[in-house]
Chain A
């Protein structure tokens, strides 16, 4: 085993898959010699050449559509959208095209596309650089949605995403790019649709994603000192969703809090609540709780930002409320 940062896991996954399969290549702005906005492709142009690390014009709609076309006809493109905010300008290519072509052609064509970029509110990046839009994409049939929370998961899931024959969207939280964690020396992949229990506990289940897994784990430490045993479950992929692992945890603890940096309405928490109500209703000892970013665009001010996003303190308070019910 060795220790790497999450961003290294992303890079290593792309490097290993590009070595394995000459049809894998990367599209994006400044991902060639510059090495990407977050150093995600640093050094890769040296190894694979600019033929496979294609620095594009600032034409996201165009190069995303091109990647879909290339995927339809034999290549395995990875699109680097930089910030997921920019994908709003491109969403039709993903939703109308990538997600539907396999179905519409009755299986004749497939779109082995990976589309990845950063999400997350933080540092005052404000309204156009803070998107957390995975619930919206998980809503649409035909798209796979990956939201890694650790270096191990980021690397293993991205490798699987690249090998997958359908469009896979990967949402990487900027706030945990430097998070360190252990990965095996040997090659590994992680299947899509398998959740990870990040901490075992018996009193309450916290379902959390991306950076919120760290927030939940810290809250769990604090709550342990109060004698509350928290289980933290990370779905890792929202589509497909590992319902069984989540349900097993809820049946064990009988209480569930969903902590998500995306907005609450029509989101992950609502989906988990519906799942629990459908399939674990009689196990529940308390109403299902959600903790999300408040419903407004991300502000520049740190004071407003702190008010809006879930924090360790807010998670602790929410769990205490659950335990008192």
Chain B
């Protein structure tokens, strides 16, 4: 879907789909239906939604250990992600990836990279291919504030800059890398402050304002497609949930959480929709019901889907091999 064509209500629907997906996934995880761990995207929905709204289906997105929001925004079907969380054979990675590796080639999303910072050079490489093939494509790397301190991110940004690659680096600064707060691991106020050192634009945006995010993404993607090189976008946002399962959240204050809860991206978007007369309470209730139906269907699909066959364990290690 092309971003400029999407109304704020469309963006709201995507954000709500992510929110309700995550809430349901969390409940199912607590019930023991989903294995391993879950990193939820609750509170950051505007970033993935605003950025991916600008992308074409054929553009690329690379995600992290926290990938459900990016996947939904890029167009992976919620049912395919939910089934992957259940590690079912109908999941987007056929039960081999699980939560931390959601992705789907049909929408330009390789399996998410749970090695923190590990996706940044890969995104540069995808952008290099777009440039070689002159297909006008763009690659987007989503990464966290914590990831920004990985050497791989630095190396990738520099190479993307010197070769003017069509890639957009989107740092979601949610103030924490797991339990480690931003100020204890940065001597600067903003990740975007590093951009000038690579000779590329650094843009700070309110990551809880989906339209503001979309604005900066439009410009960064246009720049990338025009051959002018990468942009480093820093979206200031906040996880309104724990880092992963069983996070006691002792490292941040209730006051800080309250400040950000008041800036919930969904609340901001809903208020704006009503202020502008673009949606009534009834419209929002309808969207809520539509989203609920999508999530209900996704869960039913995951629950009733079969497990992979044990005989598939060695399939797809190499191209053309189906063991």
B154 nearest CB neighbor, chain A only: A59
B314 within 8 A of A: yes
A163 within 8 A of B: no
B135 within 8 A of A: no
A306 within 8 A of B: yes
Could you tell me if A303 and B308 are in contact, using CB atoms closer than 8 angstroms?
yes
B35 nearest CB neighbor, chain A only: A124
* A304-B180 in contact given A61-B151, A125-B37 (Cβ < 8 Å): no
* A126-B98 in contact given A57-B185, A58-B146, A294-B313 (Cβ < 8 Å): yes
What size tier do the contact residues of chain B reach?
Answer: 35 or more
The docked-state distance in angstroms from the alpha carbon of A33 to that of B151 is 25
* A303-B307 in contact given A57-B149, A125-B37, A126-B96 (Cβ < 8 Å): yes
B2 within 8 A of A: no
Could you tell me if A300 and B313 are in contact, using CB atoms closer than 8 angstroms?
no
Q: What is the distance, in angstroms, from B199's C-beta to the closest C-beta of chain A?
A: 23
Interface string of B54-80 (1 = CB under 8 A from A): 000000000001000000000000000
How many residue pairs link A and B with beta carbons under 8 A? The number is 124
A85 within 8 A of B: yes
Could you tell me if A89 and B251 are in contact, using CB atoms closer than 8 angstroms?
no
Could you tell me if A30 and B35 are in contact, using CB atoms closer than 8 angstroms?
no
A224 within 8 A of B: no
The docked-state distance in angstroms from the alpha carbon of A320 to that of B206 is 65
Could you tell me if A124 and B180 are in contact, using CB atoms closer than 8 angstroms?
no
Interface string of B137-160 (1 = CB under 8 A from A): 000000000110111100000000
Interface string of B305-320 (1 = CB under 8 A from A): 0011111111001000
Interface string of B175-216 (1 = CB under 8 A from A): 001111000111000000000000000000000000000000
B266 within 8 A of A: no
**Which B residues touch A126, using CB under 8 A?**
36, 96-98, 100-101, 114
B84 within 8 A of A: yes
The docked-state distance in angstroms from the alpha carbon of A124 to that of B180 is 26
Interface class of chain B by DSSP: loop
A129 nearest CB neighbor, chain B only: B114
Binds A, one of B115-123, B165-173, B227-235, B294-302: B115-123
B46 within 8 A of A: no
CB within 8 Å of B: which of A117-159? 123-129
The docked-state distance in angstroms from the alpha carbon of A60 to that of B115 is 11
**Which B residues touch A61, using CB under 8 A?**
150-151
CB within 8 Å of B: which of A58-73? 58-62
B50 within 8 A of A: no
The docked-state distance in angstroms from the alpha carbon of A57 to that of B114 is 17
Interface string of A291-325 (1 = CB under 8 A from B): 00011110111111011100000000000000000
* A128-B87 in contact given A300-B101, A304-B95 (Cβ < 8 Å): no
**Which A residues touch B308, using CB under 8 A?**
299, 301, 303-304
Could you tell me if A58 and B150 are in contact, using CB atoms closer than 8 angstroms?
yes
A126 nearest CB neighbor, chain B only: B98
A11 within 8 A of B: no
Q: What is the distance, in angstroms, from A121's C-beta to the closest C-beta of chain B?
A: 12
Interface string of B85-100 (1 = CB under 8 A from A): 0011100010111111
Could you tell me if A300 and B98 are in contact, using CB atoms closer than 8 angstroms?
yes
What size tier do the contact residues of chain A reach?
Answer: 35 or more
A86 within 8 A of B: yes
**Which B residues touch A307, using CB under 8 A?**
310-311, 313
A17 within 8 A of B: no
The docked-state distance in angstroms from the alpha carbon of A127 to that of B95 is 11
The docked-state distance in angstroms from the alpha carbon of A136 to that of B93 is 28
Could you tell me if A296 and B313 are in contact, using CB atoms closer than 8 angstroms?
yes
**Which B residues touch A60, using CB under 8 A?**
150
The docked-state distance in angstroms from the alpha carbon of A57 to that of B312 is 39
A34 within 8 A of B: yes
Q: What is the distance, in angstroms, from B69's C-beta to the closest C-beta of chain A?
A: 19
Could you tell me if A89 and B118 are in contact, using CB atoms closer than 8 angstroms?
yes
The docked-state distance in angstroms from the alpha carbon of A322 to that of B307 is 33
B95 nearest CB neighbor, chain A only: A301
A55 within 8 A of B: yes
**Which A residues touch B184, using CB under 8 A?**
55
**Which A residues touch B118, using CB under 8 A?**
89
Could you tell me if B310 and A85 are in contact, using CB atoms closer than 8 angstroms?
no
Most buried by B among A127, A300, A306: A300
A124 nearest CB neighbor, chain B only: B35
The docked-state distance in angstroms from the alpha carbon of A304 to that of B314 is 9
**Which B residues touch A124, using CB under 8 A?**
35-36, 87, 98
**Which A residues touch B177, using CB under 8 A?**
29, 57-58
A50 nearest CB neighbor, chain B only: B184
* A304-B312 in contact given A30-B180, A129-B114 (Cβ < 8 Å): yes
Could you tell me if A125 and B36 are in contact, using CB atoms closer than 8 angstroms?
yes
Q: What is the distance, in angstroms, from A234's C-beta to the closest C-beta of chain B?
A: 27
**Which A residues touch B147, using CB under 8 A?**
58
Could you tell me if B151 and A299 are in contact, using CB atoms closer than 8 angstroms?
no
Interface string of A268-305 (1 = CB under 8 A from B): 00000000000000000000000000111101111110
The docked-state distance in angstroms from the alpha carbon of A300 to that of B150 is 26
**Which A residues touch B150, using CB under 8 A?**
58-61
Q: What 5 A-B pairs come out closest when comparing CB atoms?
A: A300-B98, A124-B35, A301-B95, A57-B149, A57-B185
| With A89-B152, A304-B308 already in contact, 13 other A-B pairs whose C-beta atoms are closer than 8 Å | A33-B251, A55-B180, A58-B149, A58-B150, A58-B180, A59-B149, A59-B151, A125-B36, A126-B98, A299-B87, A300-B35, A300-B87, A303-B95
11 pairs from A and B in contact (CB 8 Å cutoff): A34-B251, A58-B150, A58-B185, A62-B151, A123-B36, A127-B97, A128-B65, A128-B115, A296-B313, A297-B96, A301-B98
